[in-house]
């Protein structure tokens, strides 16, 4: 066969492949996508708010599920809700707000979530406690670590982790045919140093809180592995994007000098980055 004929044949095969793929996509339709999770999924505080969401859920139309759906053409059902815990997958969070897994079904193709950070009040409690302690010492020492030691991380390992496994199993039971993905939490603080003017945490407690978040993300990743879910790791991509960085670089808004009324949460840039990482990891 001549090179010209071979090239023509290869082009024809490629064209046929594209037509076949397009036809298959047209027949199957868009992905049936359900978004679950907490305020990091809901983008609480990011404008504009989602008019279809329960008021207390503080859901934004710029959250990563909306971004992901817009970029992939998926058909989105969004039940993300600020302050959600793993137990709210199977029980009502507020009156009139159904358990989140009620949105799932056998026809669900894709499920995403961030969850676990609110369980037992550990993560929020730690940030508040360390912030208060840091103010009292004017940013010196490690007062939070000295007071609480391993208490927060022990709770994540012993309580949050099994709760994450149960939550993911509940998702799988309701959506047996779906690709299930759980995202880690982007870095809130740098590894060392900090920024007391924006995040009032004592210098010695910055690595302490960073270790706590490492433990939380590790629990999320291990729960995903234990249940056959996909873990979307945010650690590497969010390095240098923490709340201590300048506006336009940071993905997480700080406590002070912030643009988000819901502090220590992703801004619109962070939500877009979470969507991009999920798309990349899932191969969407």
pLDDT digits (tens, 9 = 90+) for 50-99: 999 999 999 999 999 999 999 999 999 999 999 999 999 999 999 999 99
- Neighbour count for residue 197 (Cβ, 10 Å): 12
Task: Tell me whether residue 265 is one of the annotated catalytic residues.
Answer: yes
Task: Tell me whether residue 39 is one of the annotated catalytic residues.
Answer: yes
Per-residue pLDDT tens digits for 218-247: 999 999 999 999 999 999 999 999 999 999
Reported pTM: 0.89
- 232, 125: one domain: yes
Six-digit token string for 161: 């982790």
Q: Of the listed 44, 60, 238, 265, which one is catalytic?
A: 265
76: left (phi over 0), alpha (psi -120 to 50) or beta: beta
- 23, 75: one domain: no
Q: Of the listed 17, 22, 39, 150, which one is catalytic?
A: 39
Q: Alpha-carbon torsion 260, 253, 116, 223, what sign?
A: positive
Q: How confident is the model at residue 128 (pLDDT cuts 50, 70, 90)?
A: confident
Per-residue pLDDT tens digits for 7-30: 444 444 444 343 343 344 445 799
Does the pLDDT of residue 283 top 90, yes or no? yes
- 12, 36: one domain: no
Residue 193: what pLDDT? 95
The average pLDDT across 176-186 equals: 98
- 121, 14: one domain: no
Domain containing 273 equals 31-282
**CATH number, residue 214:** 3.40.50.1110
Overall domain count for the chain: 2
Residue 27: what pLDDT? 56
Does the pLDDT of residue 122 top 70, yes or no? yes
Does the pLDDT of residue 2 top 50, yes or no? no
């Amino acid at each position: 066969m001549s090179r010209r004929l071979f090239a023509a044949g290869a082009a024809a095969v490629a064209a046929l492949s594209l037509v076949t793929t397009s036809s298959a996509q047209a027949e199957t339709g868009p992905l049936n996508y359900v978004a679950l999770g907490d305020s990091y999924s809901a983008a609480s505080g990011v404008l504009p708010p989602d008019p279809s969401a329960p008021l207390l859920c503080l859901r934004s139309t710029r959250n990563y599920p909306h971004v992901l759906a817009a970029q992939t053409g998926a058909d989105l059902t969004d039940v993300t809700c600020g302050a959600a815990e793993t137990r709210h997958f199977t029980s009502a969070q507020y009156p009139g707000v159904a358990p989140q897994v009620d949105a799932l079904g056998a026809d669900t193709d894709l499920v995403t979530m961030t969850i676990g950070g609110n369980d037992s009040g550990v993560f929020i409690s730690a940030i508040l406690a360390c912030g208060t302690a840091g103010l009292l010492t004017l940013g010196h020492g490690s007062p939070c670590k000295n007071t609480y030691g391993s208490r927060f991380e022990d709770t994540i390992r012993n309580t949050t982790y099994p709760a994450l496994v149960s939550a993911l199993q509940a998702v799988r039971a309701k959506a047996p045919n779906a690709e299930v993905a759980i995202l880690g939490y982007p870095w809130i603080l740098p590894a060392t140093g900090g920024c007391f003017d924006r995040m009032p945490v004592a210098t010695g407690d910055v690595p302490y809180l960073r270790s706590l978040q490492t433990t939380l993300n590790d629990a999320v990743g291990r729960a995903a592995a234990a249940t056959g879910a996909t873990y979307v790791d945010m650690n590497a991509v969010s390095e240098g994007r923490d709340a201590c960085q300048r506006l336009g670089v940071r993905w997480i808004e700080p406590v002070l000098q912030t643009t988000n009324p819901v502090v220590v949460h992703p801004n619109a840039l962070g939500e877009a980055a979470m969507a991009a990482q999920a798309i990349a990891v899932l191969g969407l």
